Structure 1
Amino acid sequence: MCQACDYTIHGAQHHFGWDNAIPPTETVAPGATILFHCRDSSAGQLGPASTVADIETLDFGQINPVSGPIYVDGARPGDVLKITLESFKPRVEDGKGWGWTANIPGFGLLADQFPDPALNIWTYDADSLAPALWGSTGRVPLKPFAGTIGVAPAEPGPHSIVPPRRVGGNLDIRDLAAGTVLYLPVEVDGALFSVGDTHAAQGDGEVCGTAIESPMDVVITLDLVKDQPLKMPRFTTPGPVTRHLDTKGYEVTTGVGPDLMSGARDAVAGMVDLLTAEHGMSAVEAYMLVSTCGDLRISEIVDMPNWVVSFYFPRSVFE
């Protein structure tokens, strides 16, 4: 239990998609601190005992549940909701934190190259958050965060949970971790805040479409900022955001050309090829692994007509 929390939102108090007509689970005053019991992004369809066969039967209508919504008293359109991410605590199964990473057919940056389902189940120490074991030699550093976090849009719903929006949603920004303060524009009375899709680790880009999808208890403080209009989400981190991966340097592949999406695909495909050659894993295993800990970066976007996208894979995973 969170002794400093004013409210608890239980796992059953969740919804799918964004809709400003969904009744709030709680009405809170600005400054309230809330504990959210967030389910994994499959809403319990996958678990520690799941197999790849379960990927083929996933109900996409039950993907990315978000806990809430929370009505913040006094929030009005034009205000800004200040969201302080206080802490993330993995929920345990048989004494261990757990999560899953999957290749879901038709989903992900290289979906056309990986048409078959694949699944990796992770276990890790929920207290120490020591790197999670990949196979017999790989270790992926953990950094829990909320993949989906947002407020209700002004447009009548329902709206899909999958794409991100100017009011937040499925942002999948790995730096929305403990200590970060996120600011979102309010479009409806009460803001109607929700959070979910918690991850134990993810690389920038989440290239295969999934991270280490892991249920978590999340503590958040909600406050209001008046008279400072905001067009898009912004956030402030409490310190460095890459140091946990920098210890051994990186292997880097690139994509060069006139289209950023094509460049991103080429950079990721190049890393998949490199890891399969150097570490003897299958291509789909490499694809899922890089989604949890590799970073896509735009390295150059001014020297027309070609741009450079780079994919950074931390050598610390295998060294």
Structure 2
Amino acid sequence: MTALLLWEDHMADGRIDFTKSGVSRFPDRDLGVPRFSCEVGVPLAEQKELGHNRWHPDIPPLFECDPGDEVILESPGYDDYQLQDQDDDEDIHTLDLTRTHPITGPVRVRGAEPGDLLVVEVMDVQPLSGIGYSNVLPGMGGPLKDRFPRGFKTVWDLHGIYATSRQIPGVRIPAISHPGVIGVAPSHELLEQWNRREDPLVADGQAGPRADATATAVLRTLEGEEWQRVAATAARTVPPRENGGNMDIKNLSRGSKIYFPVFVEGALFSCGDLHFAEGDGEITWNAIEMDGSAWLKFGLIKGGSRKYGIRNPAFRPSPVDPNFGDRYLSFVGYSARGDEQRYLDTTMAAVDAVEQGIDYLTRFGYTPEQAYTIISVAPCEMHVGGIVDIPNAAVTLSIPLDIFDQDILPKP
């Protein structure tokens, strides 16, 4: 286990011996919590001891702890520091998506075994550089990518609990910060199953490449033949799977508690792709993406996965959300529009609701690109209204009114 930090690195008085661990801490207060620091602006490949950008059970652990322990993990943003704080949008056209997502870990939790539940409490999530990005990426702009082929770049200034942008004036987004990617390592058997079921999609162009992306794989300290062996079968971090991964759930914010089924000894937990805020669905494929830190506490329920039949992550949502009460404007989408009809298609219904929201916001001075971004990054609520009233599914999109500096409710 290369570069493994143990709790034995604590000195007699409880403080960490940083000459042994190389770990930093908050500069303004002593939390007594180990912190693994990310060097701002430096790609993961140049600080690869910090983490990885693929899933595989043979990636060496970064850190080892006991149930009940806490750790603070810093990480680059999803773009791996390719985006720049400038109005020019050339960087979204040259973005190498095979470098997403740099995640920090793995953390090995002593005593965790297959069949257990790893309990992860999100204590806090904070930005590092204070800059966030939201992009409608050309060719990757979510379900409406054909409507926005040029793409659109937004840079956010993260001040306290609010984000504002010079590209979208008149909007202030409250924080609901959370990890986009958070999960445990798959077993070898589960990894093989992922590859078998996703290979046909890769071949049809419906999923991101795996083999073609091997060159940009970062696997912590693995090098040479071991790196080649692991990189050849490692899974991309883009989709969520049984281990968690890129779930992009905004409710995994401060105070949330996540129950992960354990597939390997030690669980091998990692997280990254931190978000300052996000709407349900992350409809453009981007939240307010940021580099940042995640403060986490680990617990363990022995045999919990088997006992409760939990095969995908389960969670208790954060009790800390922006409080808009009833101050939303909601749009209803259906799996029917004009002459087109699809049987109980919730994706079509969701897109229908989003398009109504976009078209509505353009009546208040926003461009379609700005409106699409707002719906993706603001704490919008999206809910399935119905999937039994054949043939039409119904999905609602609720946009919070208080993020705007103008009243957007319909009036006589």
The verdict on a shared fold, with TM-score over 0.5 as the criterion, is yes
CA distance in 1, matches of 2:134, 2:249: 17
Match of 2:112 among 61, 75, 98: 75
Match of 1:219 among 266, 274, 295: 295
Q: Displacement of 1:217 after TM fit? A: 1.4
Q: Which runs of 5+ in 1 are unaligned?
A: none
Partner residue in 1 for 2:389: 303
- TM, length-normalised to structure 2: 0.72
CA distance in 2, matches of 1:247, 1:212: 24
CA distance in 1, matches of 2:32, 2:261: 24
- Which residue identity lines up with residue 114 of structure 1 in the other structure? F
CA distance in 2, matches of 1:291, 1:309: 16
- TM, length-normalised to structure 1: 0.92
Q: Which has the higher helix share?
A: 2
The two structures, once aligned, show a CA RMSD in angstroms of: 1.8
Partner residue in 1 for 2:364: 279
CA distance in 2, matches of 1:238, 1:170: 18
- Which residue identity lines up with residue 103 of structure 2 in the other structure? V
Partner residue in 2 for 1:124: 158
Partner residue in 1 for 2:271: 195
The answer to whether the aligner puts 1:47 opposite 2:84 as a matched pair is: yes
CA distance in 1, matches of 2:84, 2:275: 14
- Which residue identity lines up with residue 130 of structure 1 in the other structure? Y
The answer to whether the aligner puts 1:262 opposite 2:295 as a matched pair is: no
Partner residue in 2 for 1:237: 317
CA contact (8 A) 2:175 2:277 kept: yes
- Which residue identity lines up with residue 187 of structure 1 in the other structure? F
Q: Displacement of 1:91 after TM fit? A: 1.0
The answer to whether the aligner puts 1:136 opposite 2:169 as a matched pair is: yes
- Which residue identity lines up with residue 36 of structure 1 in the other structure? L
Q: Which has the higher strand share?
A: 1
Q: Displacement of 1:238 after TM fit? A: 4.6
CA distance in 1, matches of 2:254, 2:386: 30
Partner residue in 1 for 2:375: 290
Partner residue in 2 for 1:7: 34
Partner residue in 1 for 2:96: 59
Partner residue in 2 for 1:248: 327
CA contact (8 A) 2:37 2:73 kept: yes
Give me the identity figure in percent: 32
CA contact (8 A) 2:253 2:320 kept: no
CA contact (8 A) 2:243 2:313 kept: yes
- Which residue identity lines up with residue 270 of structure 1 in the other structure? Q
Q: Which runs of 5+ in 2 are unaligned?
A: 1-24, 39-46, 192-232, 337-342, 407-412
Aligned residue for 1:271, secondary structure, equals helix
CA distance in 2, matches of 1:85, 1:263: 32
- Which residue identity lines up with residue 244 of structure 1 in the other structure? N
- Which residue identity lines up with residue 246 of structure 1 in the other structure? G
CA contact (8 A) 2:76 2:272 kept: yes
Aligned residue for 1:173, secondary structure, equals coil
Q: Displacement of 1:237 after TM fit? A: 2.7
- Structure 2 vs 1, CA of residues 189 and 50 (structure 1 numbering), >3 Å: closer, same or farther? farther
Which moved further from structure 2: 195-204 or 100-109?
A: 100-109
- Which residue identity lines up with residue 82 of structure 1 in the other structure? V
Partner residue in 1 for 2:148: 114
Match of 2:126 among 86, 89, 109: 89
- Which residue identity lines up with residue 254 of structure 1 in the other structure? G
Greater C-alpha Rg: 2
- Which residue identity lines up with residue 116 of structure 1 in the other structure? R
